Amino acid sequence: MRLLARIRNSLGIKLFLSYLVVVLVGVVVLTGAVQVQTPVAIQRHVERMQSHLLTDPGLIEDLRVNFRGAINEVTLTAAVMALLTAVGVSVFTARRIITPIQALMRASREIAAGHFDQRLPVTGQDELGELARSFNQMASELARTEQRRVQLIGDVAHELRTPLTNMRAVIEGLADGILPANMETYQSVQKEIMRLQRLVQDLQELSRMEADAMSLRPQALDPEELIKNACERLRLQFRDKGVRLEMEVPANLPRVWADPARIMQVLLNLLGNALQYTPRGGRVSVRAEREGRHVRFVVADTGIGVPASDLPHLFERFYRVDKSRSRAGGGSGIGLTISKHIVEAHGGRIRAESGGVGRGSTFTFTLPMAR
Ligand code: ADP
C-alpha cells in the first residue's frame, strides 16, 4: 500500500516505471519473435545441410537442439544486458526531468512565503527551459509589485504625517491657550482637513486606475469644445491671479474618441498646474493639432519651468519638483500620475517638456481620432 502511494506521489518513479514498461515490452516482443522465428530458420538451415551432407538423422536432431539452445542463451544474455542498460539510462533521464521540477517546486514555495528574489537556472531551450524562464519573469514581476506596494505605504504615511502634525500642533496650541480660538485658527485646521480629503480622494482614484478598474465611456468629441469648456471652468481663477489664458484650435480638426469627464480631468489638471506654477503677468496657452491618426493637445506656460533632471519623474506618484512649495499649495503630487493613466487608457501618450528653470513648461498629450 505504502509503495503504491509512493509511486502515485512521485513523478520520478512514474517516469522510471514507464521507461521500464517500454523496455520490458521490447524485450518480450524480441524474445517472442526469436522463439517464433528460430524453429523456422533452423529447419531451413538443417534441410540445406541435410541435402549437402546426407548424414544420419540422430546427428541432425542433436544439431537442431544445440542450435536452438545457443540462440536462447544469446537472446537471454542480450535481454538482460539491454534491461540493465535501460534501467541506468531511465534513472539518468528521469533525474534530468525531475531535478528542475523539484527546483521549481522549492522556488514556488519560497515565493509563496514572500521571498521574491528566487530565480531558477535556465538550462536549455526545451519546455523545461521555457518553464524556468516564465517562472523567473513571474518572480521579477511579483518582486516589482511588492516593491511598489511597500513604497506606496511609505509614501502615504509620509503624506499623512504633515497635515496630521500641523493639526496636532494647532489643537495643542488651543488646549494650552497659546493659540486664540478664532476664525483663523479654525480655518488652518480646516485647510489641513481638506488637504487630507483631497489626498484620500486622489489615492482612491489612483488605486482604482492601477487596478485597471477605470471604466471609460468614450464617445466622439470635438477637441475645440473640450478645450473651450476646460478654459471656461478656470477663467475666473486665471483672471484673479493675473495670468493670461489663450486657446488656439484650427478649424475642422477631427473629433477624438474619448471619455468627456476623464479628458476634462486631464485638461483641468494640466491647466491648474500651469496656473499654479506661472507667476502673475505670465501666459498659458492651450492648443490642439492633428498628428497622424491622433489629435495632440498642448498646454504651454511661461511659468517657473522644470529642471531637466526632474522631467522624467513628473508622472510618478507623489513626485514634486519643489516639495515644500507645491505641498503648501495643496498639491498631492498625484495629479499627473492620474492624467497619465487616463491618457494611456485611451491609447494616447502624455509627456512634459521644459526649457529649464524659469523658462516655462509644455505638457502634451494625444488622443485617438474617432472613426
Ligand atoms: P501637484 O498636485 O503637486 O501639482 P502633479 O502630479 O499635478 O501634482 O504635479 C507634479 C509636480 O510636477 C508638481 O508638484 C510640480 O513640481 C511639477 N509641475 C507640474 N506642472 C507644472 C508646470 N506647469 N510647471 C512647473 N512645474 C510643474
Report whether 317 contacts 336 (CB < 8 A). Answer: no
pLDDT-based confidence at residue 16 (cuts at 50, 70, 90): confident
Q: How far is the CA of 233 from the centre of ligand 1 (A)?
A: 19
Of 278, 298, 205, 204, the C-alpha closest to 237 is: 278
Q: How far is the CA of 1 from the centre of ligand 1 (A)?
A: 71
Residues near ligand 1 (Cβ within 6 A): 269, 273-274, 277, 301, 303-304, 306, 314, 319-322, 326, 331-337, 361
Q: 228: which 3 cell numbers? A: 473651450
Ligand 1: residue of 241, 269, 277 to mutate (most ligand atoms within 8 A of CB) is 277
Whole-angstrom Cα distance, residue 281 to residue 244? 7
Q: Which atom of ligand 1 is nearest to the CA of 314?
A: 12
Task: Say whether pLDDT at 296 is over 90.
Answer: yes
Task: Say whether pLDDT at 267 is over 60.
Answer: yes
SS3 361: strand
Whole-angstrom Cα distance, residue 249 to residue 251? 7
pLDDT-based confidence at residue 291 (cuts at 50, 70, 90): very high
Q: Which atom of ligand 1 is nearest to the CA of 363?
A: 23
SS3 180: coil
Ligand 1: residue of 267, 278, 320 to mutate (most ligand atoms within 8 A of CB) is 320
State the pLDDT at residue 89: 84
State the pLDDT at residue 95: 85
Report whether 263 contacts 367 (CB < 8 A). Answer: yes
Task: Say whether pLDDT at 55 is over 70.
Answer: no
Q: Which atom of ligand 1 is nearest to the CA of 332?
A: 2
Q: Whose CA is nearest to atom 25 of ligand 1?
A: 305
Which run of H or E residues covers position 299? strand 294-301
State the pLDDT at residue 325: 53
Q: How far is the CA of 324 from the centre of ligand 1 (A)?
A: 12
State the pLDDT at residue 82: 82
Dump pLDDT digits (tens) for 109-160.
999 998 888 898 888 788 888 899 999 999 998 998 888 788 888 888 888 8
pLDDT-based confidence at residue 189 (cuts at 50, 70, 90): very high
More confident residue, 57 or 182: 182
Mean pLDDT highest for which of 107-111, 215-219, 336-340, 363-367?
A: 363-367
Report whether 224 contacts 248 (CB < 8 A). Answer: no
Q: How far is the CA of 318 from the centre of ligand 1 (A)?
A: 10
State the pLDDT at residue 13: 81
State the pLDDT at residue 336: 94
Task: Say whether pLDDT at 88 is over 90.
Answer: no
State the pLDDT at residue 22: 84
If one counts every other C-beta atom within 10 angstroms of the C-beta of residue 344, the result is 14
Q: Which atom of ligand 1 is nearest to the CA of 301?
A: 23
State the pLDDT at residue 290: 94
Q: Whose CA is nearest to atom 2 of ligand 1?
A: 331
Q: Which atom of ligand 1 is nearest to the CA of 320?
A: 14
State the pLDDT at residue 20: 82
Mean pLDDT along residues 281-303: 96
State the pLDDT at residue 156: 86
Mean model confidence pLDDT for the chain: 87
The model's pTM: 0.66
Ligand 1: residue of 336, 337, 351, 362 to mutate (most ligand atoms within 8 A of CB) is 336
Phi/psi for 357 (5° steps) reads -60, 130
pLDDT-based confidence at residue 54 (cuts at 50, 70, 90): low
Q: Whose CA is nearest to atom 9 of ligand 1?
A: 333
Q: Whose CA is nearest to atom 7 of ligand 1?
A: 335
Dump pLDDT digits (tens) for 24-51.
888 888 888 888 887 887 777 777 777 7
Q: CA separation (Å) from 108 to 83, 95, 102, 122?
A: 37, 20, 10, 15
Give me the numbers of helices (H) and strands (E) for the chain, helices first please: 9, 7
Going by the DSSP 8-state scheme, the letter that residue 255 receives in this structure is P
Task: Say whether pLDDT at 211 is over 80.
Answer: no
* Burial class (CB within 10 angstroms; exposed 0-12, middle 13-18, buried 19+) of 198: middle
Phi/psi for 314 (5° steps) reads -55, -30
Q: How far is the CA of 327 from the centre of ligand 1 (A)?
A: 10
Give the torsion sign (CA, 293, 298, 285, 258). Answer: positive
Dump pLDDT digits (tens) for 318-341.
888 876 655 555 567 889 999 999
pLDDT-based confidence at residue 205 (cuts at 50, 70, 90): confident
Q: Which atom of ligand 1 is nearest to the CA of 334?
A: 6
State the pLDDT at residue 323: 65
